[in-house]
């Protein structure tokens, strides 16, 4: 009946809000990283601990992948540190030395109607992308918004050499790190295992991805006004309801 009521638009909005409300309950906050910071010091293995130390220390990762969200693109980071990042570009966005692809200008690009995305109008917004969270990062290869890096080892090597492209807009926080191979593998172990919520890995509630199977019509063939058989009381009534509703298409 929804089809012929003015509530179609309302339904769309409520459906979207319902999905959003549901997604907001999906908080992957039971990782070894979280357990460690709530006092279970054995939650991270010694190697993952070295990885965490490298992440915060010599790797300089936590400068951008900061706090419990492992990202500076959050309202709390914005409130604490202001609208500009350390280079002077838009907070939460950085040029990390990926290729300068003029079809993919990132924060320096323009939206519909030629409206620029950048708010600071800093050159550092050119080819700058939003810092993503690293929660469950072991489950979401390949990496970067282009998927250019197949593994976390590749990502760590990328940062270790200070990015792939030395462009003028590259963040001052991206420079060669000279990590040892042990520091690199510890960093990968920390990210791959220390940041994974097992409930997501095992598809346990609330990450059991409920679905609404919607048949696309093939198994609900039209049968005509008489249906697939008579009903009790048909003979008492000459009107078999041949009149079809005049549905609106808009």
Q: Please give the residue ranges that form the binding site for ligand HEC (CB under 6 A).
A: 59-61, 63-65, 94, 96, 98, 129, 131-132, 134, 137, 140, 143-145, 152, 155-156, 159, 171, 173-174, 187
By three-state DSSP, how is residue 106 classified?
A: strand
Closer to ligand HEC by Cβ: residue 74 or 94: 94
Structure tokens at 144: 């970067």
Q: Give the separation between CA 24 and CA 110, rounded to whole angstroms.
A: 29
Q: How many CB atoms lie within 10 A of CB 176?
A: 10
**Which residues are 128's β-sheet partners?**
106
Closer to ligand HEC by Cβ: residue 145 or 240: 145
The CB-of-121 to ligand HEC minimum distance in angstroms stands at: 19
The CB-of-96 to ligand HEC minimum distance in angstroms stands at: 5
Structure tokens at 22: 């549901």
Closer to ligand HEC by Cβ: residue 109 or 222: 109
Structure tokens at 39: 């006092």
The CB-of-149 to ligand HEC minimum distance in angstroms stands at: 7
Q: Give the separation between CA 25 and CA 13, rounded to whole angstroms.
A: 19
164 in Cβ contact with 97 (< 8 Å) = yes
The CB-of-208 to ligand HEC minimum distance in angstroms stands at: 23
Closer to ligand HEC by Cβ: residue 164 or 226: 164
């Amino acid at each position: 009946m929804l089809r012929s009521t003015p509530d179609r638009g309302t339904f769309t909005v409520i459906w979207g809000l319902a999905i959003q409300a549901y997604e907001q309950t999906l908080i992957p906050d039971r990782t070894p990283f979280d357990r460690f910071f709530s006092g279970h010091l054995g939650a991270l293995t010694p190697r993952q601990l070295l990885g965490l130390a490298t992440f915060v220390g010599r790797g300089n990762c936590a400068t951008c992948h900061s706090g419990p969200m492992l990202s500076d693109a959050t309202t709390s980071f914005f409130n604490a540190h202001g609208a500009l990042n350390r280079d002077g570009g838009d907070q939460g966005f950085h040029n990390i030395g990926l290729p300068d692809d003029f079809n993919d200008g990132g924060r320096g690009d323009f939206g519909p109607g030629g409206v620029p995305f950048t708010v600071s109008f800093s050159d550092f917004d050119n080819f700058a992308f939003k810092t993503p969270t690293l929660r469950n990062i072991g489950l979401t290869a390949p990496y970067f918004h282009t998927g250019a890096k197949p593994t976390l080892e590749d990502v760590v090597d990328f940062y270790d050499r200070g990015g792939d492209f030395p462009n003028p807009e590259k963040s001052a926080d991206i420079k060669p790190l000279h990590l040892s191979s042990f520091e690199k593998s510890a960093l990968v172990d920390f990210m791959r295992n220390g940041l994974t919520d097992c409930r997501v890995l095992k598809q346990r509630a609330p990450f059991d991805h409920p679905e609404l199977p919607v048949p696309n019509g093939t198994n609900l063939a039209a049968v005509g006004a008489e249906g697939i058989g008579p009903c009790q009381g048909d003979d008492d009534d000459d009107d078999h309801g041949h009149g079809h509703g005049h549905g609106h298409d808009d």
